[in-house]
Copies of this chain bind each other. A is one copy, B any other.
């Protein structure tokens, strides 16, 4: 079929298994487009994490390793250290990266590993059926916060990128969103920047992408985009935290 996939070398033809309207698919496309545009497919090794995107290894048309829950940055470190001239990226959800994988991402960032992390923040554990994520908003209902997230009991939404911004090993760090075509374009720019950071060996790069989970939010896909725009961007302001070739004013 002559739709977009045909033009993207870095994606296989396999249809995504994601729920209707889940923006994981958009994020996949952005990664693949950036790989294509920067001609990285042949030297790329991607790390799929554990979450709804676990099958990423079936979608990205490059060498892939599937990593244990939360450990993708460690796996990426292992690869990059032995193949420093290859392009290594991870694709991780907020449960994977900001909960169980906190140590791994913090230390990979702090070591300044030349890897790129694509961080999908959808404020929930998608794959396991909608439990609280560290990024779940205050008041948000999940199966493990049935009365809504309460800061006194469950703590605050974790500002992971703000935390990583404190680390000198980080070369590029930005938070983007996918809730409108304009934001998708912006996200694409961030992705390319992050990839360049790695290629220029400027240290660790991470793009946090605000993404939807219509299924577990109990919203239709279009309302889910509005939720991102209205609620998530308030808690997680879109921002370039670090840019290896620019001064950033916080």
A112 CB, min distance to chain B CBs, angstroms: 5
Q: Which B residues touch A158, using CB under 8 A? A: 106-107, 110, 167
Q: Which B residues touch A101, using CB under 8 A? A: 103
Q: Is the CB of A156 within 8 A of B134?
A: no
Q: Is A151 an interface residue (CB 8 A)?
A: yes
Q: With A102-B103, A103-B100 given, is the CB distance from A166 to B156 under 8 Å?
A: no
Roughly how many angstroms separate A34 CA and B140 CA in the complex, as a whole number? Answer: 39
Q: Is the CB of A163 within 8 A of B155?
A: no
Q: Is A9 an interface residue (CB 8 A)?
A: no
A100 CB, min distance to chain B CBs, angstroms: 7
Q: Is the CB of B112 within 8 A of A155?
A: yes
Q: Which B residues touch A107, using CB under 8 A? A: 99, 102, 134, 155, 158
Of B103, B110, B156, the contact of A167 (CB 8 Å cutoff): B156
A121 CB, min distance to chain B CBs, angstroms: 15
Q: Is A1 an interface residue (CB 8 A)?
A: no
Q: Which B residues touch A156, using CB under 8 A? A: 110-112, 167-169
Roughly how many angstroms separate A168 CA and B134 CA in the complex, as a whole number? Answer: 13
Q: Which B residues touch A103, using CB under 8 A? A: 100-103
Q: Which B residues touch A113, using CB under 8 A? A: 155
- A102: nearest chain-B partner, CB-CB: B103
- A70: nearest chain-B partner, CB-CB: B103
Q: Is A165 an interface residue (CB 8 A)?
A: yes
Q: Is the CB of B169 within 8 A of A166?
A: no
Q: Which residues of chain A (103-120) have a CB below 8 Å from chain B? A: 103, 106-107, 110-113
Roughly how many angstroms separate A113 CA and B156 CA in the complex, as a whole number? Answer: 11
Contact with B along A73-116 (1 / 0, CB 8 A): 00000000000000000000000000111110011001111000
Q: Which B residues touch A166, using CB under 8 A? A: 159, 162-163, 165-166
Q: With A99-B107, A106-B106 given, is the CB distance from A112 to B151 under 8 Å?
A: yes
